[in-house]
Amino acid sequence: MMSGKGIGLYIGAKSISAAQVENRSGRAVLQKLAVVETPADTIDRGIITDAESIGITLKEIWEGEKLEGKRVGLVMPAVNLIIRSMTLPRMSESEVYEALRTEVEGYAVISGAEPVLDWEVIPESAEGAFNTFDVLFAATTAENVLQYLSLLREAGLRAGFVEVLPLALSRSFVSADLLKPDSPFNIVVAVDSEITTAVAFYHGFPSFAHMIELGSQDISEGVDELAYELMLCCNFYRNDYPDEEVSNLFLAMDSPDYERVLKELEERTEEQIAGVNPFANIDEVECPTEIAEGNVLSCSVAIGSALREAGLGPEVVQLNLMPRSILTRAHLKRQIMEIGALMTGVLILGLGIGGVLDVKTNSILKEKAALQQKMSQLDEQTLKKVIELEKKTNEFRNRTSQYRDMLNSLKVSSQHELLDYIRSVIPKDSWLERISYDESGRISLEGYAFSEDSVFLFADMLRPLSSGGQVNISVQRESSLFNFHMELRRGRG
């Protein structure tokens, strides 16, 4: 295998990490590792609010660590990410894209925005003569990705791919044994600062994902809520696969109390909670690594992305959330370069053969001109889209600011009482995916249940919260589950 270097970069709300890995004839050598605090108030729920400050920080990392390259494998916060599995009828690749695009446009994270998505067919589901298969997919909005790509450009960097955080984490530490078809059932848990993502590896492939609206900043005073969510997660998988047992929950987070948190979670969940070793798939280390002790997630994610960029690491599924328009432009650039090289060869031959190849040369020149015209059109289209997305981003930032002001005006005790009550009455075979509460008192809840009766029981238990005792419900069956949406207006008494 040829030598090469890969740089992984994670830009999170609380920390920025970078790792450089060299591929030395198939051996992974960690040459650089850096973690710094993200400048205060520069990222809010995944939205960049101060690009200049982050850009300065990136330049300081590159200069201080003397990182040897401008191309990076980029990992963004998971807060505005969708990662799920879905069953589809057998169809072409373009049909899969359209089906998933239609699916994600219904999610609140994507609704009204241009989606960016990628997927991989789950191998086991494609075997046999069934007319369906399952896909693991990830999605976010184009404006979300473009703001980070623009940030890189300002810092003189570029992205080779846009990695999905829990998959980058997995690549840093999972062994080949955990990726075998007969491997036990394992769950990888990435506790980011604002959200937690749990990805289940079933028969060696990441096949299920569950987003938990809790982050490391929410468990500084206790782990009870995260423990409860992880137990729900394990029970969900056990209900789907009663013959399987959860072998380990591998959990990574940034915290000086990492070991204590692991121990407390294990006591409360009664599950086998394992720590993550960011250097498990590194063969040789040439830099200090003490920084990883309190930054397990940040270091693991940067190293996992660097391994992918260097062509190393275990064969964890590779998803890429680079917007399709940018990928198309890169493909056209490659074509132009190939045509340019071919044209040079033709001209050299023409010196000896005369005008015989003039027609071929003219044809190539026309093709090159046509491709350049396409590139120009794409540039114009992309520029217009970026302007539109920037406008939407500014509008979203204003809404975020209003929402933050609204939250600050609410009494904390009232919020806690509301959440505690909802948690106390939700049936055991049901769980929430989203909950929102606006300044007018409107409460919106979305989730899943294993039975329709549980949905209506939950609605009955919520009636005391509602003004007039009214709860609006919509229920839709999805395979063996019932997806529900409830709305009520909280009484003022």
Q: For 394-413, b where at least 16 C-beta lie within 10 A, e where not — what string?
A: eebeeeeeeeeeeeeeeeee
Domain shared by 107 and 30, yes or no: yes
Q: Please give the pLDDT value at position 411.
A: 39
Q: Which helix (H) or strand (E) holds 143?
A: helix 142-154
Whether 154 and 119 share a structural domain: yes
Residues 55 and 87 in one domain: yes
- Domain limit, last residue, from 267, 298, 322: 322
Question: Which residue, among 9, 25, 63, 89, has the nearest Cα to 311 in the 3D structure?
Answer: 25
pLDDT for res 102: 87
Q: pLDDT value at position 342?
A: 45
Instruction: Determine, yes or no, domain membership for 403.
Output: no
pLDDT value of position 104: 86
Structural domain count of the chain: 3
Q: Is 224 a member of any domain?
A: yes
| Last residue of one domain, picked from the residues 272, 302, 322 | 322
pLDDT at 476: 87
Same domain, 258 and 367: no
Distance (Å) of CA 130 to CA 100, 402, 457: 20, 50, 36
User: Is there a single domain that holds both residue 37 and residue 150?
Assistant: yes
Q: What pLDDT is stored for residue 395 in this prediction?
A: 62
413 falls within a domain: no
The pLDDT score that the predictor gives to residue 367 is 59
Element housing 413 (H / E): helix 412-425
What residue ranges of the chain have pLDDT lower than 50?
A: 1-2, 328-336, 338-339, 341-361, 403-404, 407-413, 493
Q: Are residues 465 and 481 in the same domain?
A: yes
Residue 466 DSSP symbol: B
If asked whether residues 346 and 463 sit together in one domain, one would say: no
- 484 in the same domain as 352: no
Q: How many helices (H) and strands (E) does the chain have?
A: 11, 20
E strands of 230-326, at which residues? 246-253, 273-274, 284-285
**Helix (H, G, I), strand (E, B), or coil: what is residue 228?**
helix
Does 16 reside within a domain? yes
Give the pLDDT of residue 215. Answer: 81
Give the end of a domain, one of 271, 291, 322. 322
Q: Has residue 421 been placed in a domain?
A: no
* Residue 259 domain-assigned (yes or no): yes
Regarding whether 456 and 373 lie in a shared domain, the answer is no
For the record, the structure tokens of 107 come out as: 């999610």
In a domain, 414, yes or no: no
* 348 is a domain residue: yes
Per this entry, what is the length of the chain?
Answer: 493
Please check whether residues 316 and 338 belong to one and the same domain. Answer: no
* DSSP state, residue 391: H
Q: Structure tokens of 183?
A: 């491997």
pLDDT for the residue 330: 46
| Main-chain dihedrals φ then ψ at residue 316, nearest 5 degrees | -80, 140
Q: Which residues pair with 191 in a beta bridge?
A: 196, 253
Instruction: Examine the domain organization and report whether 311 and 344 are in the same domain.
Output: no
Give the residue numbers spanning the domain of 457: 426-490
Residue 350 to residues 324, 338, 364: CA-CA distances in angstroms? 39, 18, 14
Residues 38 and 133 in one domain: yes
